[in-house]
C-alpha cells in the first residue's frame, strides 16, 4: 500500500477535466492579453520541409495533416489566443562564417514573406508600442529572434545591421560554443563570456536588442547578467530543478533573472519538462536504431516495428499540468513577473505535451494555472504583460545609451 501510494505521488498528475467557468475566464484573459510567445521555428520548417515555398504554403488552413506536418497555422494561432510571436530565424550551429549571415538573411526573408502573404493576420513589429498597436488591431505581432551568436559571424557590424532589419533578440549561443560565448551543450571555449562576448552584450543593450540566455552555459549566463544593463529573456527554457537538463535554468540563475527584471519563457518540449520522458525517448530511439528503423527529426519513420516496445515501455505522461509545474517553479523562484511562454513549436520534433501538439495549446496551461489559484492579473502577465515590460525596458536602456558611440571591437579570430 505504501509503495503504491509513493508511486502515485511520484507520477506526473494529469491536468483536470475542462471546467466551462474556467474556460470562460481564460477566454476573457486572452481577449485582453493575448499570448506573446518567445520562440517558434516555423521559418526553418518552411525552409527545410517545404523548400522555402512560402507563397504556396497556405497557413490559413490546418497544416497538421501535410506530408510534412507543421505545428503552426493561422486557425490554431487564433484558437490558442496568440497575439504576438517571436519567429526564430534559426540556422544550424554548424553553419559559420559569411554563409551563416547569408542564411540568416534568407530566414528573415521567409518571415517577411509569410507576413506579407497574410496581411490581415500578421504584421511586423520591432517595439513594444508596435506590439500593443498590433494586438489592439487583432493581428499577430511578428517579431524576429536570432538563435545563436554564430549568426553574426563574430562581427558587431553584422549585429547592428540585424537590428536594423528588425531582429529583436539574439540567443548568445545555440548548441555549440563560440570563441566568445559557451553553450550549455558543448565543451567550453570562452570561459563563459570572453571580452568580445561582453562587448556583444553591451552593444545589444545600446541598440535595444534583447539578450537571450536560452542555450547558453551557466557560466555564460552569469557573466551576461553581470554585464547587461537591460533585463534579459530566456526565450525557450524551463526549470532545471524539475528536469535536470543543461538546457534548463538552475534556481540561482532563475532568481538573478527575476531580480534583474527579466523573463523566463517556459519551453513545451517534453524532454525539457520531464527527465523520465527524455530517458524514455532516448531509449526508444536507441531501440529503433538497433532494429534498423530509419528516423528523422520527428522520430522513427516506421513506428510499426516499435508497437511491442511501446506496449512494454509506456510513455511517461507529460501534459499541461507538467508545463504548469515549471511555470509555477519559475514564478516561485523568480517571481510571477518573470515568467512567460516559449513553446518552441515547430522546433520540438513534431511532438509536444499530451493534447498540446500545436500553437492552439496555451489555453490548456492557463486553465490549469487558474485552477491552481492564479489570478487574471497573474495570467495576463504570463501571456504578454511580462515580456512586453521587458521589451519596453530594453528600449529605455537603449535610449539612455544614445550618446554612446558604436562599440569598435576587434573580432575574435
The domain limits of the chain are 31-270+318-400, 275-317
Specify the pTM: 0.94
Annotated active-site residue in 37, 123, 182, 236: 236
User: Which of the listed CATH numbers 3.40.640.10, 3.40.50.1370, 2.130.10.30, 3.20.20.140 matches domain 31-270+318-400?
Assistant: 3.20.20.140
Torsion-angle region of 177 (φ positive above 0: left; ψ -120 to 50: alpha; else: beta) = beta
Pair 246, 214: CB distance under 8 Å? no
Tell me what pLDDT residue 297 has. 66
Taking the C-alpha atoms of residue 239 and residue 254, their distance in angstroms, rounded to an integer, is 8
Cα distances (Å, whole numbers) of residue 237 to 159, 190, 216, 377, 388:
23, 22, 10, 23, 18
Q: Does the active-site annotation cover 41?
A: yes
Pair 275, 266: CB distance under 8 Å? no
pLDDT in tens, 163-217: 999 999 999 999 999 999 999 999 999 999 999 999 999 999 999 999 999 999 9
Q: Does the active-site annotation cover 150?
A: no
Q: What is the DSSP letter of 97?
A: T
Q: Enumerate residue ranges in the chain where pLDDT < 70.
A: 1-16, 297-298, 409-413
Q: Does the active-site annotation cover 313?
A: no
Taking the C-alpha atoms of residue 285 and residue 270, their distance in angstroms, rounded to an integer, is 15
Q: Does the active-site annotation cover 236?
A: yes
Tell me what pLDDT residue 3 has. 32
Q: Does the active-site annotation cover 319?
A: no
Annotated active-site residue in 37, 73, 174, 346: 174
Q: Give residue 362's Cα distance to chain centre.
A: 13
Amino acid at each position: 500500500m505504501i509503495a503504491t501510494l509513493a508511486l502515485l505521488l511520484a507520477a506526473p498528475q494529469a491536468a483536470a477535466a475542462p471546467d466551462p467557468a474556467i474556460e470562460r475566464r481564460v477566454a476573457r484573459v486572452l481577449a485582453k492579453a493575448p499570448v506573446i510567445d518567445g520562440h517558434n521555428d516555423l521559418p526553418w520548417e518552411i525552409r527545410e520541409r517545404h523548400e522555402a515555398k512560402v507563397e504556396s504554403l497556405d497557413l490559413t488552413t490546418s497544416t497538421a495533416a501535410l506530408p510534412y506536418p507543421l505545428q503552426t497555422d493561422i486557425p490554431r494561432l487564433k484558437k490558442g489566443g496568440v497575439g504576438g510571436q517571436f519567429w526564430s530565424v534559426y540556422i544550424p550551429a554548424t553553419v559559420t562564417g559569411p554563409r551563416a549571415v547569408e542564411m540568416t538573411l534568407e530566414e528573415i526573408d521567409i518571415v517577411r514573406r509569410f507576413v506579407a502573404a497574410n496581411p490581415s493576420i500578421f504584421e511586423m513589429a520591432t517595439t513594444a508600442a508596435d506590439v500593443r498597436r498590433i494586438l489592439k488591431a487583432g493581428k499577430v505581432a511578428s517579431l524576429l529572434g536570432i538563435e545563436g551568436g554564430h549568426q553574426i559571424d563574430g562581427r558587431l557590424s553584422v549585429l547592428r545591421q540585424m537590428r536594423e532589419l528588425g531582429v529583436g533578440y539574439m540567443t548568445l549561443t545555440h548548441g555549440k560554443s563560440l570563441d566568445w560565448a559557451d553553450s550549455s551543450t558543448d565543451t567550453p571555449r570562452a570561459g563563459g563570456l570572453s571580452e568580445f562576448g561582453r562587448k556583444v552584450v553591451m552593444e545589444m543593450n545600446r541598440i535595444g536588442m534583447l539578450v537571450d540566455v536560452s542555450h547558453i552555459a551557466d557560466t555564460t549566463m552569469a557573466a551576461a547578467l553581470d554585464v547587461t544593463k537591460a533585463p534579459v529573456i530566456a526565450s525557450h527554457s524551463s526549470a532545471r530543478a524539475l528536469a535536470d537538463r543543461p538546457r534548463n535554468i538552475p534556481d540561482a540563475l532563475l532568481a538573478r533573472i527575476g531580480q534583474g527584471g527579466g523573463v523566463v519563457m517556459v519551453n513545451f518540449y517534453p524532454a525539457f519538462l520531464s527527465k523520465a520522458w527524455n530517458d524514455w525517448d532516448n531509449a526508444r530511439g536507441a531501440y529503433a536504431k538497433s532494429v534498423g528503423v530509419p528516423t528523422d527529426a520527428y522520430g522513427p519513420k516506421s513506428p510499426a516495428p516499435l508497437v511491442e516496445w511501446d506496449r512494454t515501455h509506456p510513455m511517461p505522461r507529460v501534459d499541461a499540468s507538467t508545463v504548469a509545474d515549471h511555470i509555477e517553479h519559475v514564478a516561485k523562484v523568480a517571481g510571477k513577473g518573470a515568467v512567460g511562454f516559449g513553446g518552441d513549436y515547430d522546433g520540438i520534433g513534431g511532438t509536444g505535451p499530451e493534447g498540446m501538439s500545436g500553437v492552439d495549446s496555451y489555453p490548456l496551461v492557463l486553465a490549469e494555472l487558474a485552477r491552481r489559484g492564479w489570478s487574471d492579473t497573474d495570467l495576463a502577465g504570463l501571456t504578454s504583460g511580462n515580456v512586453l515590460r521587458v521589451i519596453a525596458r530594453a528600449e529605455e536602456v537603449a535610449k539612455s545609451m544614445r550618446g554612446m558611440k558604436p562599440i569598435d571591437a576587434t573580432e575574435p579570430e
